[in-house]
Amino acid sequence: MTLRLTDHEAEALRLRADLERRSMQEVARQAIREYVESHSRAELLDHVLDEELPRYAEALERLGR
């Protein structure tokens, strides 16, 4: 895989890696892992809200009274 960054993105990544005393590759890989994990959780929550919550709408409405 080849990742093409703009000059600005590459410099920002370089600065972050230097600050953390890690390689640019390590910083980029961690960012990708965090992005995937975060979006996976958000998609799961969206699924629950869209698919499961309506099943309990009546009960939740009663509890809210």
CB 49 within 8 A of CB 56: no
Parse the chain into domains and list their residue ranges.
7-64
For helices 24-47 and 7-20, angle between their N-to-C axes, nearest 10 degrees: 100
| pLDDT score, position 61 | 83
Question: What does pTM read for this prediction?
Answer: 0.62
| pLDDT score, position 15 | 98
CB 11 within 8 A of CB 24: no
Per-residue pLDDT of the chain (65 residues; tens, 9 = 90+): 899 999 999 999 999 999 999 999 999 999 999 998 888 877 888 887 788 778 888 888 888 88
| pLDDT score, position 39 | 80
| pLDDT score, position 24 | 97
